[in-house]
Amino acid sequence: MRRWNGWGDDTISFALAPDALAFLAERVGDGHGVTDASFEQACAQVAPSRLPPHRLIETAAPVRVRHALGQSLPDWLKLRYGRIGATPDGVAFPESADDVRELLHYAQRYHVALIPHGGGTSVAGHLTAEAGALPVLSVSTTRMCRLQHLDHESQLATFGAGVFGPDLEAQLRAHGFTLGHFPQSFEYSTLGGWIVTRSSGQQSLRYGRIEQLFAGGVMETPAGRLDIQTFPASAAGTDLREIVLGSEGRMGILTEATVRVTPAPEYEAFHAVFYPDWHSAERAVRELAQAKLGLSMLRLSNGVETQTMLALAGHKKLIGVLEAYLSLRGCGEGKCMLMIGASGDRAQARAAMAQALTLARKRGGVHIGRKLGDKWKQNRFRNVYLRNAAWEHGYVIDTVETAVDWPRVESTMLAVEAAARQALAVHGEHVHTYTHLSHLYAQGASVYTTFVYRLAGNFDEDMARWRTLKGAVSQAIVDCGGTISHQHGVGSDHAPYLAAEKGEIGMAAMAAIFRHFDPQGVMNPGKLLPNVQPSQPSRAPSQGIAA
Amino acid sequence: MRRWNGWGDDTISFALAPDALAFLAERVGDGHGVTDASFEQACAQVAPSRLPPHRLIETAAPVRVRHALGQSLPDWLKLRYGRIGATPDGVAFPESADDVRELLHYAQRYHVALIPHGGGTSVAGHLTAEAGALPVLSVSTTRMCRLQHLDHESQLATFGAGVFGPDLEAQLRAHGFTLGHFPQSFEYSTLGGWIVTRSSGQQSLRYGRIEQLFAGGVMETPAGRLDIQTFPASAAGTDLREIVLGSEGRMGILTEATVRVTPAPEYEAFHAVFYPDWHSAERAVRELAQAKLGLSMLRLSNGVETQTMLALAGHKKLIGVLEAYLSLRGCGEGKCMLMIGASGDRAQARAAMAQALTLARKRGGVHIGRKLGDKWKQNRFRNVYLRNAAWEHGYVIDTVETAVDWPRVESTMLAVEAAARQALAVHGEHVHTYTHLSHLYAQGASVYTTFVYRLAGNFDEDMARWRTLKGAVSQAIVDCGGTISHQHGVGSDHAPYLAAEKGEIGMAAMAAIFRHFDPQGVMNPGKLLPNVQPSQPSRAPSQGIAA
């Protein structure tokens, strides 16, 4: 069953080896585990529902707790310490677009805030049930999850928007196709969630970001049903898909989406190449990205991340042999690991990989074959369980990500890491921080930084540490000219930094779009943008529940 | 000098060989040339300007005539017959974003409609100077044309938005780069025009549509300056570029744009492959597009287009030899020509071409080498001059284009061609009509249809013929589920058909966006969308010129 206060399924755990723990202790000090609050304790806090009854809405405490929060660190702190805060007043489980329409009417009539809920994996506070004085209804999309149509010829598949990653892939693989969208949250996130937060998968180099995969769909909005037809391309005015993408629940609820699929790859390989230092590695990966070889993945870890991954891998002897070999080949301390993926038609993918390896070696890369790559692929959705394991030993693992043009990649990485270290120094704590470039573009790269530090053991202090650190790194991103999110969206946590990149005029335009679709301001209020003022007086509530 | 009433430069002409004329006469009857009105006659019609004077505005008749219309057929009819109709009351030549700001203030203060004017090559009526009772100011962007910044590392170039295609490429080539955006209008269209009409170049298969090339920029709008930063990618809410793309002058004037450039290709080749019939050709080209080989162009002519191109090529003997050879190889009447382009790094491009030719042959294609491809490349921007030559012999050449998913490609092509033929049958005229798929996608293709028919020799009848034909083919596109434009935008001519694809809710959303940026409705009113109602009372005109 889904873990209610941590990542993933509660039957899956991913232990930290003693060596790994020693590695962390050496860097940030001994961790001290915290006793989690129980699910029952959490449920006991839930206030009576303020919602008028409706056939689609459940108001029992357990379901409300399970839809109250996401997977951001502050969400975890609330769950683990049993300080849940606001929960939605109810959770609806619509099974069709018409059900969703009905819920929108209900929300407008009773002036209830709606929070669309897909897989609940947001790491940016998209799900927080705070809506001023309004009652809150969480709307789960997960019962709209069927493959509705598959057009083999155009390679288009239409799904209910609440389909989870594995169910989507299983339904496609049965017909020989793949979407190829594999964010780390893949197992527990939904197609609709990917679309409205502009998600990017680990193999976006081949398959594209969700923006490129989303061909059309249906969104129910307070202003009506927005039905977006599919075209291979169009020059006819505004691309309505782009209004839906990144809308984060502010304009409506996506009920179905048509996506561009690809024949399942007949070949896939991930190879590891090491570089002696960051500069040679960054230069090599830029050349690889700009050469447009048709690869499916490029992922470059900096020195500390490389060291950390090898330390946490748990095969001390094997890793020792590898490191000795790499050292002989000039890759000692500070070495950086580059993972290269190729997928697709066998001949094409192998040719692309061969070209990539030739280019990678030309820049001083040491190719060590597929073993680490196979391991990475095997654990691609498992590594995130390390967050659970670390927590149990008293450590926090948190991340931020941005994207910048090439001239700012290194400086942004250094600034974000430095900001994190300084931020917790104020709290007398060390931060172990490391970075990888997760997505490579001709124009630049995403910069994905991880922070490991100790839990204080009490909610307020841990929340304060997170706030200090998150504020410092977000400010560093903005100061470096990075986007506040490359792949996780804005939600509550990044909203204060959005104006830095959109500008006042851009923010006003976004607000105008959402106000148009949602004049009463009932759609996920407070997320993405500061709350939008209703453009018309809200209707008088007929049951006295509204503010 | 730019021809004032036809395509291109008046020193360039492209004669039709006697055989070509005979070919046309056989199909649609003998043409009878029409005597064009003179430039002086056109200028004599220009009404006194209603604009208050301004240092940036010219109001002499010649400049107003030269900015009155574009290159659509009704625009041509007006120019050629000297029935210009409305001209702008003046033309402004801003040299900076601040100049543009000043013009926006002027327009708001005096309630003047602004029509942004790039290269004036619109074929959809974007430039028509009709704005109800408002005086009209055409704003030429062409003095904002410098390369302002080139970031070699990120492969980003920032230009004044009014730069013409050849000037843009020349400035980039001097640094070893290319944008690779080559619409047929390339020589006379501008970067800003490409962006606000969502243009697509002939080699978009490699370089992408303008949507993929446009990385950021500055648009001056009545609501303020929208400054869009560049990121390799972002998940932070609405992508503001997408509001600018396809805005067709409704929200503001683009003053600068940053585009993604690529090292100039070291190798480029275009090969021709023939197929015996449409079905085998369409299937082959779909497989090629879906194989993602890294080609730069795929372009498939149907049987009649293939026949027409060979007939108009003018080398009767050589073509005869070619056709005899093709016939021996099974490609007789109804044969279809596929043009395949590969560009870039020599090894990569040659490998892509080799793979493509292997795949193309596997589906029954007969590869005839590079000769026709070289010829095509040489004339890629010259063929459009045929419109001038045909006109002089009394023939109209007009085109429409759409894009549809694969299952509808053939039926759309047939429906558009049939609609055109039937439409002019009512006028007792034949239409010679043929089609190519100009841009290929995994999902589908653009369907680009050409019509050749006779001029009646009088303005009203020729306008009536065009209206009947345009209406019929546009309705056929809409009925087939195609977009009303794949690469030329909406303007005035396609506006009546836009709601069919956007829906009522989508149209209202677009209107809301433009109303937000332009509450007074002074930006290119009536284009793209039915005119937007001002959301606030317009300011009282201080010089009594407004409606």
* Tens-level pLDDT at each residue, chain B (547 residues): 999 999 999 999 888 989 999 999 999 999 999 999 999 999 999 999 999 999 999 999 999 999 999 999 999 999 999 999 999 999 999 999 999 999 999 999 999 999 999 999 999 999 999 867 899 999 999 999 999 999 999 999 999 999 999 999 999 999 999 999 999 999 999 999 999 999 999 999 999 999 999 999 999 999 999 999 999 999 999 999 999 999 999 999 999 999 999 999 999 999 999 999 999 999 999 999 999 999 999 999 999 999 999 998 878 889 999 999 999 999 999 999 999 999 999 999 999 999 999 999 999 999 999 999 999 999 999 888 999 999 999 999 999 999 999 999 999 999 999 999 999 999 999 999 999 999 999 999 999 999 999 999 999 999 999 999 999 999 999 999 999 999 999 999 999 999 999 999 999 999 999 999 999 999 999 999 976 554 443 333 333 333 2
| Mean pLDDT across chain A | 95
Buried b / exposed e over B30-51, threshold 16 CB at 10 Å, is ebeebebbebeebbeebeebbb
List the single best residue of B156, B218, B225, B231 to mutate versus A (max A Cβ within 10 A): B231
Chain A residues within 8 A of B351 when measuring between CB atoms: 351
SS3 A343: strand
The first and second tokens of residue B243, run together, are 């509001």
Query: Each residue of A15-67: pLDDT tens digit?
Result: 898 999 999 999 999 999 999 999 999 999 999 999 999 999 999 999 999 99
Residue A97: is its pLDDT beyond 90? yes
Asked if B112 contacts B105 with a C-beta cutoff of 8 angstroms, the reply is no
Among chain A residues, CA nearest to B210: A235
Count H helices, E strands: chain A?
19, 18
B502 and A236 within 8 Å at the Cβ level: the answer is yes
Closest CB to A235 among B231, B238, B246: B246
Question: Residue A18, Cβ neighbours under 10 Å: how many?
Answer: 10
Which domains are seen in chain B, by residue range?
Answer: 147-263 (3.30.465.10), 267-380 (3.30.70.3450), 384-496 (3.30.300.330)
Q: Does B535 touch chain A (CB under 8 A)?
A: no
Across A440-468, average pLDDT: 97
The first and second tokens of residue A15, run together, are 């232990």
Return the HEC string of A256-292.
EEEEECEECCCEEEEEEEEECCHHHHHHHHHHHHHCC
Backbone angles phi, psi at A398, to 5 degrees: -135, 160
CA distance A494 to chain B (A): 9
Unique residue bearing structure tokens 């948190």: A398
B294 assigned to a ligand binding site:
no
Closest CB to B231 among A221, A248, A483: A483
Residue A476: is its pLDDT beyond 90? yes
List the single best residue of A405, A408, A533 to mutate versus B (max B Cβ within 10 A): A405
d(CA A66, CA A91): 10
B498 and A442 within 8 Å at the Cβ level: the answer is no
Question: Percentage of residues in chain A with pLDDT exceeding 70?
Answer: 97
d(CA A215, CA A194): 13
Residue A468: is its pLDDT beyond 60? yes
pLDDT, position B539: 38
Q: Is A380 exposed, middle or buried (0-12, 13-18, 19+ CB in 10 A)?
A: middle
Q: Is B499 exposed, middle or buried (0-12, 13-18, 19+ CB in 10 A)?
A: middle
d(CA B8, CA B188): 7
A119 assigned to a ligand binding site:
yes
Distances (CA, A) of B143 to A323, B95, B229: 60, 5, 23
B235 and A294 within 8 Å at the Cβ level: the answer is no
**Total-model pTM:** 0.96
Distances (CA, A) of A2 to A24, A119, A187, B2: 28, 10, 11, 69
Return the HEC string of B239-295.
CCHHHHCCCCCCCCEEEEEEEECEECCCEEEEEEEEECCHHHHHHHHHHHHHCCCCC
ipTM of this complex = 0.95
Among chain A residues, CA nearest to B222: A505
For B:369-428, CB contacts with A below 8 A are: 403-407
Buried b / exposed e over A290-301, threshold 16 CB at 10 Å, is bbbbbbbbbbbb
In this structure, is the dihedral angle defined by the CA atoms of residues B385, B387, B389 and B392, taken in order, positive or negative?
Answer: negative
Q: Does A452 touch chain B (CB under 8 A)?
A: no
CB pairs under 8 A between A and B: 284
B234 and A486 within 8 Å at the Cβ level: the answer is yes
Q: Is A47 exposed, middle or buried (0-12, 13-18, 19+ CB in 10 A)?
A: exposed
Closest CA to A107 of A256, A252, A254: A252
The first and second tokens of residue A473, run together, are 């790194």
pLDDT, position A15: 87
Asked if B311 contacts B368 with a C-beta cutoff of 8 angstroms, the reply is no
d(CA A318, CA A4): 36
| Alpha-helix runs per DSSP H in A329-385 | 346-362, 371-378
A246 and B238 within 8 Å at the Cβ level: the answer is yes
A197 assigned to a ligand binding site:
yes
Across A278-305, average pLDDT: 97
pLDDT, position B547: 29
Return the HEC string of A200-237.
CCCCHHHHCCHHHHEEEEEEEECCEEEEECCCCCCCCC
Query: Each residue of A352-408: pLDDT tens digit?
Result: 999 999 999 999 999 999 999 999 999 999 888 999 999 999 999 999 999 999 999
Residue numbers of A annotated as active site: 448
CA distance A364 to chain B (A): 20
B406 and A482 within 8 Å at the Cβ level: the answer is no
Closest CB to B200 among A233, A405, A483: A233
B516 and A517 within 8 Å at the Cβ level: the answer is no
Residue A461: is its pLDDT beyond 50? yes
d(CA A264, CA A455): 43
Closest CB to B240 among A221, A223, A502: A502
For A:270-309, CB contacts with B below 8 A are: 286, 290-294
Asked if A90 contacts A114 with a C-beta cutoff of 8 angstroms, the reply is no
Q: Please report how many Cα atoms fall inside a 13 Å half-sphere around the Cα of residue A300, on the Cβ side.
A: 33
Backbone angles phi, psi at B225, to 5 degrees: -85, 120
Residues in chain A: 547
- Confidence category of residue A538, pLDDT binned at 50, 70, 90: very low
Residues 6 or more apart in contact with residue A327 via CB below 8 angstroms: none
pLDDT, position B531: 67
Closest CA to B187 of B346, B379, B20: B379
Distances (CA, A) of B179 to B81, B183, B206, B209, B212: 38, 12, 11, 11, 11
Task: Please write down the long-range contacts of B537-542, taking CB distance under 8 Å and 24 or more positions apart.
Answer: B538/B111, B539/B108, B539/B109, B539/B111, B541/B110, B541/B111, B542/B109, B542/B110
Question: Residue B98, Cβ neighbours under 10 Å: how many?
Answer: 12
CA–centroid distance for A406 within its chain = 23
d(CA B50, CA B90): 9
Asked if B412 contacts B422 with a C-beta cutoff of 8 angstroms, the reply is no
B185 assigned to a ligand binding site:
no
The first and second tokens of residue A291, run together, are 């050469």
Chain B residues within 8 A of A261 when measuring between CB atoms: none
Q: Does A509 touch chain B (CB under 8 A)?
A: yes
Closest CA to A137 of A37, A213, A41, A67: A67
Closest CA to B238 of A432, A47, A31, A242: A242
Q: Does B71 touch chain A (CB under 8 A)?
A: no
B200 and A355 within 8 Å at the Cβ level: the answer is no
Asked if B129 contacts B56 with a C-beta cutoff of 8 angstroms, the reply is no
List the single best residue of A152, A154, A345, A527 to mutate versus B (max B Cβ within 10 A): A154
Closest CA to A217 of B401, B211, B500, B506: B506
DSSP per-residue string spanning B337-358 = EEEEEEEESHHHHHHHHHHHHH
A233 and B209 within 8 Å at the Cβ level: the answer is yes
Unique residue bearing structure tokens 């020195």: A303
d(CA A546, CA A525): 14
Chain A residues within 8 A of B235 when measuring between CB atoms: 197-200, 246, 483, 485-490
